[in-house]
Structure 1
Amino acid sequence: MLNKIKDIIAASIKVKQELLQNDALLETVNTCVTEIVAAFKNGNKVLFCGNGGSAADAQHLAAEFSGRFYLDRDALPAEALHCNTSYMTAVANDYSYDVIYSRLVKGIGIKGDVLIGLSTSGNSKNIVAAFEVAKEKGMITIGFTGESGGKLKAISDYLLNVPSSDTPRIQESHIMLGHIICELVEAQYFA
């Protein structure tokens, strides 16, 4: 059992080592920080979406902006789109689960807002649909995916595709990259 635990930790470290060596992806992280800071300074908001564990990560990262990260500071306008269960269940029931995010992005997203979608496959239909609507509205799209990028690869302004096809390892790296973005945005915005 201890060897299995060590193997899992080693696999997680290996993915993070690959990220550490990927200068193009790290530059994309830096660019995402710049875009999010600019959006906040322009009075825009950051919206998050995901499914399952990725929804939990989306909600976690939204709370880092709207609550606090390291600094005792004002709230930043960020929201995870799945937190209104009455909305989610009504739209999923009356229309389709595939439109739960796109319908809300159409209703509350505006030009200059940022939409961050977390999907380990990059193929989640509801997130792809949300990105399509966001693009129509002139929003900035940031995709957090696994290695291939899936369908989000073609429609993300910025793609953070973790070099793995193993869902838990991808999600561990998503939260790490999200924390890096939150820390740097907070530091720059409140400098």
Structure 2
Amino acid sequence: MNFLNDITIYLETLTRVINNLDKNEINRTMQAILKKYNEQATIYIFGNGGSAATASHFVCDFNKGACMDAKNKFRFICLNDNTPIITAIANDISYDDIFSYQLQGVLSKNDMVIAISGSGNSKNIIKAVKYAKEIGCEVVGITGYDGGLLKKYADYSLHVDINDMQKVEDVHMAFDHMMMQIFSKYLLEQEAK
């Protein structure tokens, strides 16, 4: 079996999606994240399934990679990394509450929430985002498809405009790695001044 044609189609489609990203919105989002870094605010990040893996990856790349040699560190916390608390909340309350419950009583209006949802409509994501908005907290929405409700609620929108979950998730990881490299370079330059 020769997969060359399918490989070419996948990569060409992904390239078109990347070329159509809103670079101004990415820049605006990065400025907001940098502001939270400078304020030493906490940034809570979360997602389901593949987006949960992406959220965990963000924490590693920001808390270690982006500021490895910097005096100050990012303060990312991933709400989907603790399996016992997630299953306890899902079992005793509701799966829809697994993120919003963890934010209650700890989220401050000076913090930031980064919610990742390919569809933008996951109930537990939207419930947590609504809670964050009630607190007065800024929200970054990382979405695909049409962006769903998350894109509407988000103050900053990293949107991947394609109806294909795998390509959406590919670009979500590219957001992480791109921002990590840019922030790492920027923070080192700032430290040298």
Give the CA deviation at 1:2. 3.0
- Give the TM-score of the pair, scaled to structure 1: 0.89
Q: What letter corresponds to residue 168 of structure 1 in structure 2?
A: Q
Does 2:44 correspond to 1:16?
Answer: no
Confirm or deny: 8 A CA contact 2:67 2:74 kept in the other structure.
no
Q: How far, CA to CA, are the matches of 1:129 and 1:15 in structure 2?
A: 31
For residues 45 and 19 of structure 1, do their structure 2 counterparts lie closer, same or farther at Cα, with a shift above 3 Å needed? Answer: same
Runs of 4 or more consecutive aligned structure 1 residues displaced over 4 Å after TM superposition:
none
SS in 1 for 2:69: coil
Give the CA deviation at 1:66. 1.2
The structure whose Rg is larger is 2
* Partner residue, 1:7: 6
CA RMSD of aligned residues (A): 1.9
Q: What letter corresponds to residue 7 of structure 1 in structure 2?
A: D
Q: What letter corresponds to residue 2 of structure 2 in structure 1?
A: L
Residues 106-141 of structure 1 deviation map (CA, whole Å, 9 limit, x = unaligned): 232211212111111111111111110111112111
* Partner residue, 1:52: 49
Tell me the number of residue pairs that the alignment of Structure 1 and Structure 2 aligns.
Answer: 188
Give the CA deviation at 1:10. 3.3
Confirm or deny: 8 A CA contact 1:19 1:26 kept in the other structure.
no
For residues 12 and 114 of structure 1, do their structure 2 counterparts lie closer, same or farther at Cα, with a shift above 3 Å needed? Answer: farther
- Give the TM-score of the pair, scaled to structure 2: 0.89
* Partner residue, 1:80: 78
Unmatched 5+ stretches in structure 2: none
Unmatched 5+ stretches in structure 1: none
- Within the candidate set 87, 90, 93, 1:92 is matched to 90
Confirm or deny: 8 A CA contact 2:121 2:148 kept in the other structure.
yes
Give the CA deviation at 1:40. 1.1
